[in-house]
């Protein structure tokens, strides 16, 4: 079978036209004989996704049933290069009817994990499919506390995408057995991820309805304000400062303040590469408005009832100005001593000039406070609604 013929079959599988798919397979049989049908399991793309993976991505169920039920040697548990099964692809493509048929009729394993440790429940929560999430919890062995390789639960995945309905469903399942402050391996909570990605309504839901802890820190000492500041989410920063003004003066484990993270590049939390073709890129705001929102905390009228806070404000402001003067005079280069929150659970790494993984990027030729000085001298960016 030629490569062009394989590509045509993959296209027919995802197209969703059962008659066209049957005609294409019959044409292959006529050209190469009946023995070629047993080789349909070898037809795949560059990432190892075969005909049944493509049929699972189709909005129509008959092609998937035809390929899975026919005598073609295609397994519904076949894993592609990244460990994704047809059921994984059906979830990410938002075709719950395909998922339900694969699990309930064709024998797909709902707990099968891809290379990142994501099962069907994780992906349903990430894509915001509440009905499918409820079905998986009710009719399969999936559990709200199932963990991915980095320790993330379905609640983490729904919080990082702002899927409030899914969050409520997960937290109300099994008599609230799932802790709203459950942690990943690096200590991140669902509230931290919601702040990192700028979903204020999701953060409000976690705090007001489920009493999530605003003081929770990651294993590196990062607060929710560090996460929101680095992500460039002005509205989230202001909401956090309204709730907890003291967070602006609380450093991470290496002494870096939230204002330092506001000048750094925002890390992203994309799905693994095999799923990204169906996702739209997230939008992130600029950091200028965040810097201004945090700096405003040092300009509020003095509180006569708390002299200690006023002394801390003066100390932070004078220390920042001194560091800026040193940087402007060509003095020592100043950088935060730790990386902001990373979705991986490996050891802390040094900053790179052109990172290929999520994380901050600070050019070696410029100090952190030189960037801060330049941004502070410019008008703040417009706030996003």
DSSP per-residue string spanning 330-385: T------SS----SS-S------SS-SSSS----TTS-HHHHHHHHHTSPPPPPP-
* Residue 296: predicted pLDDT: 54
What confidence score (pLDDT) does residue 298 get?
46
Maximum Cα interatomic distance, the chain, rounded to a whole number of Å: 90
The DSSP string of 266-298 is: PP--PPPGGGGGG-PPP----SHHHHHHHHGGG
Whether the predicted pLDDT of 338 surpasses 90: no
Of residues 384 and 208, more confidence is placed in 208
Q: Which of the pair, 356 or 80, is modelled with greater confidence?
A: 80
Q: Do residues 125 and 163 lie in contact, with contact meaning Cβ atoms separated by under 8 Å? A: yes
Domain boundary among 90, 107, 124: 107
164 domain-assigned: no
What was the pLDDT predicted at 73? 84
- Between 20-34, 96-110, 342-356, the lowest mean confidence (pLDDT) is in 342-356
Query: Which is more confident, 151 or 324?
Result: 151
Q: Are residues 230 and 373 in the same domain?
A: yes
Cβ partners under 8 Å of residue 188, min gap 6: 156, 218, 341
Distance (Å, whole) CA 157 – CA 278: 16
**23 pLDDT exceeds 70?**
yes
Name the most confidently modeled range: 54-63, 348-357, 373-382: 54-63
**Do 102 and 227 have their domain in common?**
no
Please check whether residue 80 lies inside any domain of the structure.
yes
Question: Are both 371 and 237 inside the same structural domain?
Answer: yes
> Does residue 171 lie in a domain region?
no
Considering the domain boundaries, does residue 155 fall inside one? no
In which domain, by residue range, is 68 found?
1-107
Per-residue pLDDT of 117-173, as tens digits, reads: 999 999 999 999 999 999 999 999 999 999 999 999 999 999 999 999 999 999 987
pLDDT tens digits, residue range 225-283? Answer: 999 998 889 999 999 999 999 999 999 999 999 998 887 755 555 555 556 554 433 33
Residue 370 and residue 241 in one domain: yes
Residue 151 maps to a domain:
no
Q: Name the domain boundary from 107, 127, 148.
A: 107
Give 38 or 144, the one with higher predicted confidence: 144
CATH number at residue 228: 1.25.40
Task: Name the more confident of 76 and 297.
Answer: 76
Query: Are 372 and 238 members of one domain?
Result: yes
**pLDDT at res. 374:** 47
**In terms of Cα–Cα distance, which of 73, 49, 54 is closest to 16?**
54
32 has a pLDDT exceeding 90 = no
Instruction: Note whether residue 50 is domain-resident.
Output: yes
**Binning pLDDT at 50, 70 and 90, where does residue 329 land?**
low
Which range among 173-177, 300-304, 373-377 has the greatest average pLDDT? Answer: 173-177
User: Domain boundary at 107, 140, 160, which?
Assistant: 107
Tokens 């739209």 locate to: 280
pLDDT of residue 347: 34
Average pLDDT, the chain: 77
Number of domains in the chain: 2
The whole-number pLDDT of residue 127 equals: 95
Residue 343 lies in a domain: no
Instruction: Give me the CATH number covering residue 99.
Output: 1.25.40.20
Residue 143 placed within a domain = no
**What share of the chain has pLDDT > 70, as a percent?**
68
Q: Are residues 79 and 226 in the same domain?
A: no
Contact (CB, 8 A) for 230 and 261: yes
Q: Which range has the worst mean pLDDT, 94-103, 115-124, 303-312?
A: 303-312
Higher pLDDT, 283 or 375: 375
* 325 CB neighbour count, 10 Å cutoff: 12
pTM of the predicted structure, to 2 decimals: 0.71
């Amino acid at each position: 079978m030629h490569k062009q013929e394989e590509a045509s079959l993959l296209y027919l599988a995802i197209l969703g036209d059962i008659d066209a798919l049957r005609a294409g397979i019959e044409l292959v049989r006529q050209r190469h004989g009946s023995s070629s049908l047993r080789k349909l399991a070898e037809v795949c793309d560059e990432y190892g996704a075969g005909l049944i993976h493509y049929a699972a991505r189709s909005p129509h169920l008959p092609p998937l049933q035809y390929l899975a039920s026919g005598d073609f040697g295609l397994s519904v548990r076949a894993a592609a290069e990244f460990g994704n099964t047809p059921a994984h692809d059906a979830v990410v493509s938002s075709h719950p009817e395909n998922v339900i048929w694969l699990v309930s009729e064709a024998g797909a394993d709902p707990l099968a994990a891809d290379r990142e440790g994501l099962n069907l429940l994780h992906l349903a929560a990430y894509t915001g499919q509440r009905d499918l999430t409820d079905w998986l919890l009710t009719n399969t062995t999936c559990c709200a506390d199932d963990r991915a390789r980095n320790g993330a639960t379905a609640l983490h995945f729904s919080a990082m995408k702002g899927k409030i309905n899914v969050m409520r469903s997960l937290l109300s399942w099994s008599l609230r057995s799932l802790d709203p402050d459950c942690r990943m391996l690096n200590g991140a909570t669902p509230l931290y991820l919601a702040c990192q990605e700028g979903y204020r309504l999701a953060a409000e839901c976690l705090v007001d309805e489920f009493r999530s802890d605003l003081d929770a820190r990651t294993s590196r000492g990062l607060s929710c304000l560090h996460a929101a500041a680095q992500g460039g989410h002005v509205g989230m920063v202001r909401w956090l400062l309204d709730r907890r003004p003291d967070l602006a003066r609380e450093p991470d484990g290496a002494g870096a303040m939230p204002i330092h993270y506001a000048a750094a590049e925002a890390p992203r939390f994309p799905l693994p590469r095999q799923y990204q073709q169906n996702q739209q890129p997230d939008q992130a705001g600029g950091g200028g408005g965040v810097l201004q929102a945090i700096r405003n905390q040092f300009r509020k009228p003095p509180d006569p009832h708390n002299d200690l806070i006023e002394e801390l404000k003066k100390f932070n402001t004078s220390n920042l100005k001194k560091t800026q003067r040193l940087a402007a005079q060509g003095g020592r280069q100043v950088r935060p001593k730790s990386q902001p929150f990373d979705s991986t659970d490996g050891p802390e790494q040094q900053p790179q000039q052109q990172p290929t993984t999520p994380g901050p990027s600070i050019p070696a030729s410029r100090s952190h406070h030189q960037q801060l000085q330049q941004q502070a001298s410019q008008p703040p960016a417009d706030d996003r609604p």
